Amino acid sequence: MLMPNVAAPKANALADRIRTFLTNAGVTVKTFNFDFENPGITPDLDESDLLIVIGGDGSLLRAGHFCAPLGIPLLGIRSGRLGFLVELDDSELEQNLEKLLKAEYRLECRMMLRTELFSRNTLKQSWNVINEAVVCRGNEVHPIEVRVDLNEGYLNSYIADGVIVSTATGSTGYALAAGGPILPPELRNILILPIAPHLSLDRAVVLAEGAEVNLFPTIKHDVVISIDGMTPVLLQDGDRVHILSNHHSLYMVRFGEHNYFYRNLAAVMQRNPILEMEKHD
């Protein structure tokens, strides 16, 4: 299935190129035009062997939420700013699609998290997480208090703008902007990082895959939880956020060498993608 982001200017043109190439090769292609303004509308992935998303890293994350629980691999085609997750751009697109049809690729397995929101020990909501779960302040510009417990017991209490619990994939997202370490994508670790901590431990903590994290926010004003940058959910007094490794993984199609991550990392870190976009406007 093709999933172009309708808000990305080049996405529809790239979708036409991909659709034409695959149809001429005898492949049945379905299209789902993803609209960020209506995220509740989801694609029907029954009988799909692959989801090709056309957009940026944000589009890829949304697509991953659709396909990961079904075990369907994901291929990202860039139509916007340079990112860490998407695999291809419009250069040599057809050549790489030819490799895809010849099975000249590998599947990269990315660890995911499961986040559960409990209200006084009653499960209210749960999410699959590719990048990160963030518990942070809402509209009011005040730090919040969050206690963090692990399987083994109490870890730390933070007074901060929030706390990020991230996968290795998410270490190049919000966690990187908050000063966290960059973890290679194949690592199956959980990263805990405070956002702008005040008189609190300011170091990131890296946990093993089997760890379980419980966040206990103190509600004195608005506190929210956001999953992979999606619409935040307001937390209530007595809420607990439970985070652990997910039995689902995200499978991403890769054509390049195994050290591609460090090559892309160097490219992203050496220039500002926003400035690069403005040069071409």
| Span 152-166, pLDDT tens digits | 899 999 999 999 999
- 159 and 236 belong to one structural domain: yes
Name the pTM for this structure.
0.90
pLDDT digits (tens, 9 = 90+) for 243-264: 999 999 999 999 977 777 766 6
- 142 and 76 belong to one structural domain: no
- 135 and 228 belong to one structural domain: yes
Domain around 21: 2-105+255-279
Predicted pLDDT at 281: 39
The predicted model gives 39-50 an average pLDDT of 88
- 164 and 217 belong to one structural domain: yes
Predicted pLDDT at 272: 57
The predicted model gives 70-74 an average pLDDT of 97
- Annotated active-site residue in 57, 161, 228, 239: 57
The CATH number of residue 24's host domain is 3.40.50.10330
Domains identified in the chain, total number: 2
Predicted pLDDT at 200: 77
Specify whether 57 is catalytic. yes
CB proximity list for 47: less than 8 A, separation 6 or greater:
none
pLDDT digits (tens, 9 = 90+) for 195-215: 999 887 788 999 999 999 999
Tell me: pLDDT of 271 over 80. no
Contact between residue 110 and residue 250 where contact means Cβ atoms under 8 Å apart: yes
- 153 and 29 belong to one structural domain: no
- 192 and 69 belong to one structural domain: no
The CATH number of residue 198's host domain is 2.60.200.30
Q: Rounded distance, CA 100 to CA 94, Å?
A: 10
Residue 92 DSSP label = T
Q: Name the H helices within 45-203.
A: 57-67, 93-101, 174-177
- 12 and 133 belong to one structural domain: no
Q: Rounded distance, CA 120 to CA 14, Å?
A: 48
Q: Rounded distance, CA 252 to CA 113, Å?
A: 16
- 36 and 124 belong to one structural domain: no
